[in-house]
Amino acid sequence: LLIRLHHMKFSRIFLLSALAAIGFTACDNVDEADRFDGPISVEGKKNVLIEDFTGQRCSNCPLAADKVAELQGLYGHDRIIAVSIHGGGLSVSEETNPNVGLANAQGNAYNTYWGVESWPSGLIDRSGGLLDFQSWQAEVIKRFMQDVKADVKISALTYDTDTRTVSFEVETENLDAAAVSGKLQVWLTESDIVRNQTMPNGSTNREYVHKHVFRASVNDPFGDAVTVNAGETLKKTYSYTLKDNWVPENMAVVAFVYNDADGVLQVTERNLAAE
């Protein structure tokens, strides 16, 4: 699979495959075995954000994690940005059980805000509402096809080992002919966390490796209001002090711009380990 990061038109094969995928998921009576699940060509600049609402006591949640890994394998980790948000009734609280739990107050608040009532559930680019993980691929393909109105970059990323403080700059560039307005959201995630997880067969895997776990919102929990005029770039500087039990080498900064009308305009990720 060739992944191109430069802007260009989607191929005819891409469009036909995407339409087929969307058509399959629009039918309520399609058996799981008959759902579209094949790779397609991905071109253009639009990245896609998957917010995976999950829990350590959720037996089907590892299947959603596998789906994320599959999509990232097909389209690239730089094109599919995933965040696992632990919260709700099947999660384990970090506050009450710090050596086991991965759910925090903000993760619970996101679950409540988006009305998550079953796990796993996911938001794809904050467009189309909550979806079962078996429907994620079709929505991902649909979002790849969107015009890119803004670009988001994380630059000047540094980590101070003495203070455990990460600092960086987020640049939002307007690529549209009109002003772009929305919210700039900046999160911290951590991967390769070994904690308990209930598995699909009902057993508990005490050596389960959790990926891209939501750790904290660096700015306002629902983002900073931004407006970027045509041809301009907005720069914002952020810093955050990591908790003692977070492993810097396994952490990443996720930044995205979204609004109610368009969903996520663009999303990007940068790992601290690369610095």
If DSSP states are collapsed to H, E and C, what string results for the chain?
CCECCCCCCCCHHHHHHHHHHHHHHCCCCCCHHHCCCCCCCECCCCCEEEEEEECCCCCCHHHHHHHHHHHHHHHCCCCEEEEEEECCCCCCECCCCCCCCCECHHHHHHHHHCCCCCCCEEEECCCCCCECHHHHHHHHHHHHCCCCCEEEEEEEEEEECCCCEEEEEEEEEECCCCCEEEEEEEEEEECCEEEEEECCCCCEEEEEEECCEEEEECCCCCCEEEEECCCCEEEEEEEEECCCCCCHHHEEEEEEEEECCCEEEEEEEEEHHHC
pTM to 2 decimals? 0.86
The 10s digit of each residue's pLDDT in 258-269 is: 999 999 999 999
The pLDDT-based confidence of 43 (bands split at 50, 70, 90) is low
The pLDDT-based confidence of 40 (bands split at 50, 70, 90) is low
The pLDDT-based confidence of 144 (bands split at 50, 70, 90) is very high
Q: What is the pLDDT of residue 275?
A: 57
Q: What is the pLDDT of residue 273?
A: 85
Q: What is the pLDDT of residue 45?
A: 83
